Structure 1
Amino acid sequence: MKQFEYKVEDMQIRLTVNNDFNTIITDKLNSIGRDGWELAGVNGTLCFFKREIIFD
């Protein structure tokens, strides 16, 4: 049976005149995804991630 581990990230982003929310959030999500985490849910600014635990 598959087993998963979970992680919660608060994705609050301080917006200023010179930054682009879409670029910042995309870069953050891609960075987390490169570590094998899959977005499983969102509640406000909290993002819930999961990834499968692989036993050798």
Structure 2
Amino acid sequence: MTKPIIALDFPNASSATEFLSQFENESLYVKVGMELYYQAGASLLSYLLYCTLV
């Protein structure tokens, strides 16, 4: 079965991370929305990568 891609189309990083907390022990594919990336920057991508490695 193919995993869905979850779009992180949130206005800020705290909203996105709060949403992602529902999926703590699951492996996900995510797409960071343009508004979120412009607001949070590369630090959000680093955080998401860190969460997958821990």
TM bucket (normalised to shorter chain) is 0.3 to 0.5
Larger Rg: 1
**Structure with the higher helix share, 1 or 2:** 2
Higher-RCO chain (CA-CA 8 Å, sequence separation at least 6):
1
Q: TM-score, normalised by structure 2?
A: 0.38
